[in-house]
Amino acid sequence: MNTKNIFFSLSFALSGGAATAQEIPKSLSNTVWLQQGYDRILTIKDSTYSYYNINSVTCKPMIDGVFKDRFKMVSLKKGALIVNPGGIVHYNFTALDQLPANCTREARKELSYPKNFQVFWETFQNNYAFFKERKIDWKAIYDEYFPLVQNAKTDKEFAGILKEIVGKMKDGHIRLDLPDDLKEKPAPIAIATGTVHLRQALLSDLKNTYIKELKSYNGGVLQWGFLKDSKVGYIIISDMNNFANYIPEEQQNSKEFRALYDKISEAKPPQQMFDDEIAGTEKIMKTVLHDLEGSTSMVIDLRFNGGGYETVALKLLSYFVKSKKKVISITAKTSSGFTPKQDYTLYPVEKGYDQPVYLLLGPNTASAAEIFALATLEYPHITRVGSRTSGIFSEILWKELPNGWEFSLSNEIYTDNKGKAYEATGIPVNIEMNYPRKHPDFNNSFYPNEVFKDQALDKVLELELLRK
């Protein structure tokens, strides 16, 4: 799978819901638009579009295709266009008279380190939404590092400066995609205990110890059963993607599953691919709730879920709520402020689950899985257990330096119904289990150690509260 192309697709359609195929209005033909909060340019011809990444130095085409395969029209007024890529975030554009000149010239790499640093710094200045939350003085970063950039003599030196800055941000959605010869091998993991328990082995131990009649869908993206010696249903969701019903049941847990799934998924038009994710979610959830019928409560485990498609997350949640509520608001950072606030209302499915729900969270619960958790704040029958989540909610906005290196940042602010954001802090829990924040220490905390020699494998799944 080409991960970068998927990220570019997600910039349009990570929200993933259905969109009606439609022809574009004639008034949109041969028009040019600047996207607010993303600093990208959209050009529309008769039925096709092109999408450009733009900065103060370069403007480079990023992706193109058939307009109706990508967008649904929301609003078109004089000088203002709003489209929806199939999800919860509308994209706002303002009209331009013509494509900027640097978009029409043949793209040439600008190799000056100061010029590339200037673009890097300006892009964050214009679009990054969380300097305050991450305790970063961005002007001080410029003053500290620009003299070092001016003295840099090699790509390695310049890359080292950018990596040092990114490391200070402590934002899991900020990434540098450097050339292979500049990439470093990951440093050895520092852990508090001597043994490293791997995620897959831990999950296997948990399921074998606590779950009966376990069933699995699409390589384990969703698994379900009952807690042993109880009538409590248990659902563990490892990702918020790969839910499309492409692969026959007998191959869903085979070694070939991933290659088969990716081949089919990548051949789909983008809008169809995301529609398929929602259709697959709906299909499997009917099976899950049928199999867990008669359960007295439900445990939903997101402690090992690093994200995916936010509409998959919210569709899953819709099976466990009883009323429609406004649950999330979203805005994006611009150079002069923010895009108009957008509210998202969650609607319950017709035949959903109507018993108490316990949502398991931890420091590895991230991105779209946190959006699931964020929406639960409006539903008091859902009890959150574990520890606060990772604290990275925004879509990943990919940009490019004039020298061709790519990087990403967080430009969208997700808030609850009261306007509170949880970036950097994460979604809080009702019942605190004090999980370690570092990934390997979190895994190791499930096993006995020198301090807790008689520790249960999973203190949460042994809580009496969950088994009533």
- The string of DSSP letters for 269-328 reads -HHHHHHHHHHHHHHHHHHHHHHTTT-SEEEEE-TT---B-HHHHHHHHGGG-SS-EEEE
pLDDT, tens digit, 9 for 90 and up, residues 140-187? 999 999 999 999 999 999 999 999 999 999 999 999 999 988 987 765
CA proximity to 303, closest of 459, 467, 133: 459
pLDDT, tens digit, 9 for 90 and up, residues 222-241? 999 999 999 999 999 999 99
pLDDT at 296: 96
pLDDT at 187: 58
The segments of the chain whose pLDDT lies below 50 read 1-21, 451-452
- Residue 248 tokens read as 């026959």
39 forms beta bridges with none
Question: Which CATH number among 2.40.128, 3.40.50, 1.10.3210, 1.10.287 corresponds to the domain 3-104?
Answer: 2.40.128
pLDDT at 6: 40
Whether 408 contacts 382, CB under 8 Å:
no
Distance CA 75, CA 169 (A): 36
Whether 386 contacts 460, CB under 8 Å:
yes
Q: Beta strands 357-361 and 382-386: pairing type?
A: parallel
pLDDT at 392: 96
Whether 310 contacts 240, CB under 8 Å:
yes
What one-letter code names the amino acid at 339? T
DSSP 225-264: EEETTSSEEEEEE--BS-----S-GGGTTSTTHHHHHHHH
Q: Where are the domains of the chain?
A: 3-104, 113-182, 199-467
Contacts of 340 (CB under 8 A, 6+ apart): 92, 331
**Residue entry with tokens 């429609």:** 324
DSSP 60-100: EEEEEEEHHHH-EEEEEETTEEEEE-SSS--EEEEEESS--
Angle between helices 155-169 and 113-127 (to 10 degrees): 20
**Residue entry with tokens 């923010």:** 338
pLDDT at 70: 87
Q: Beta strands 176-177 and 406-410: pairing type?
A: antiparallel
- Residue 448 tokens read as 């006995």
Other C-beta atoms lying within 10 Å of the C-beta of residue 465: 12
Whether 369 contacts 302, CB under 8 Å:
yes
pLDDT, tens digit, 9 for 90 and up, residues 130-149? 999 999 999 999 999 999 99
**In CATH, what number does 199-467 get?**
3.90.226.10
This prediction has a pTM of: 0.90
For the chain, the first-to-last Cα distance in angstroms comes to 44
